[in-house]
């Protein structure tokens, strides 16, 4: 077990977005989260690395770190928690005035205070890994959306996280560039990265996931192996959602 979450809840004012969510993540597992808009998927993902602080819930990591969000949590433990995950956003969030290489180096050098020369070498290797070896010195506006998202993946990997989080990483892309991002993610899955992916790419989720969660109304309605949840769902809400996604004209 890498991470166990029990009783996770999160509200924004009177809107209860997550309601008693329980989920376990194994080391090296690819977990895909699907569901309609407004079901709580992105909020759940942001709770995994502290971008949103849960109202309650207990996070237990395999290294012994335990956070109970109903109690006061030591600042050092919150920092330790936030550094466990690297995040890839929908909208890239690259620094427009920095080159591709500088974007990837930013976090390790200025946040983690690591050696600049060492980070530069690692960043170059990561950019080659995502197919952007020839783009080190260009700026984000000179890249396609798919290329910018691949920079975002390299930037998250540069922080050497234990867990990679992806929030609808292809939703802002043109159809022709979606494949190049999904290919990089498939390669990471083959390398046994622990990954949690919010996605609407159902076939991709079927191909790479070890486990799929279907969320609706702030709850995990159904979870299991891809062939169970995506091919033979038990819950009526899951069936209706997949019908709308896979057969929109019916």
DSSP string, 96-160: TTS-HHHHHHHIIIIIS---HHHHHHHHHHHHHHTT-GGGTTS-GGGS-HHHHHHHHHHHHHHT-
The pLDDT confidence band at residue 201, using thresholds 50, 70 and 90, is: very high
Asked if residue 170 lies in contact with residue 189, where contact means CB atoms within 8 angstroms, the answer is no
Rounded average pLDDT over 123-150? 97
Over 35-67, what HEC string results?
CCCCCCHHHHHHHCCCCCCCCEEEEEECCCCEE
Rounded average pLDDT over 109-119? 95
pLDDT at 192 over 80: yes
Residue 241's CB is within 10 A of a number of other CB atoms, namely: 22
**pLDDT of res. 246:** 84
Asked if residue 196 lies in contact with residue 164, where contact means CB atoms within 8 angstroms, the answer is yes
**pLDDT of res. 247:** 80
Domain ranges of the chain: 3-246
**pLDDT of res. 142:** 97
Angle between helices 175-190 and 145-158 (to 10 degrees): 20
pLDDT at 16 over 90: yes
**pLDDT of res. 4:** 97
pLDDT at 249 over 80: no
> What is the spatial distance between Cα 216 and Cα 163, in angstroms, rounded to a whole number?
24
- Choices 3.30.830.10, 3.30.450.40, 3.40.50.300, 2.40.50.140: CATH for 3-246: 3.40.50.300
The pLDDT confidence band at residue 205, using thresholds 50, 70 and 90, is: very high
Residue 78's CB is within 10 A of a number of other CB atoms, namely: 13
pLDDT at 82 over 80: yes
Asked if residue 148 lies in contact with residue 92, where contact means CB atoms within 8 angstroms, the answer is yes
- Which residues sit opposite 164 in a β-bridge? 86, 195
Rounded average pLDDT over 142-148? 96
**pLDDT of res. 250:** 61
> What is the spatial distance between Cα 18 and Cα 10, in angstroms, rounded to a whole number?
5
Q: Which two tokens stand for residue 112?
A: 């983690």
């Amino acid at each position: 077990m890498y991470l166990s979450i029990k009783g996770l809840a999160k509200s924004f004012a009177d809107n209860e977005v997550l309601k008693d969510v329980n989920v376990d993540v194994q080391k090296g597992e690819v977990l895909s989260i699907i569901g309609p808009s407004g079901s709580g998927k992105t909020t759940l993902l942001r709770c995994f690395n502290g971008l949103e602080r849960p109202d309650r819930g207990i996070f237990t990591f395999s290294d012994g770190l335990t956070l109970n969000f109903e109690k006061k949590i030591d600042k050092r433990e919150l920092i330790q928690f936030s550094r466990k995950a690297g995040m890839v956003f929908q909208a890239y969030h690259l620094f427009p005035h920095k080159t591709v290489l500088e974007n990837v180096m930013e976090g390790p050098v200025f946040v983690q205070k690591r050696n600049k020369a060492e980070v530069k070498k690692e960043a170059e290797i990561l950019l080659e890994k995502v197919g952007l070896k020839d783009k080190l010195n260009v700026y984000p506006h000179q890249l396609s959306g798919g290329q910018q998202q691949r920079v975002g993946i390299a930037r998250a990997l540069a922080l050497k996280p234990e867990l990679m989080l992806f929030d609808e990483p292809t939703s802002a892309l043109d159809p022709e560039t979606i494949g190049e991002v999904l290919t990089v993610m498939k390669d990471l899955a083959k390398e046994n990265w622990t990954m949690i992916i919010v996605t609407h790419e159902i076939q991709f989720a079927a191909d790479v996931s070890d486990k799929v969660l279907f969320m609706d109304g702030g709850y995990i309605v159904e979870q299991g192996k891809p062939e169970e949840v995506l091919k033979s769902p038990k819950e009526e809400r899951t069936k209706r959602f997949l019908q709308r996604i896979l057969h929109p004209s019916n």
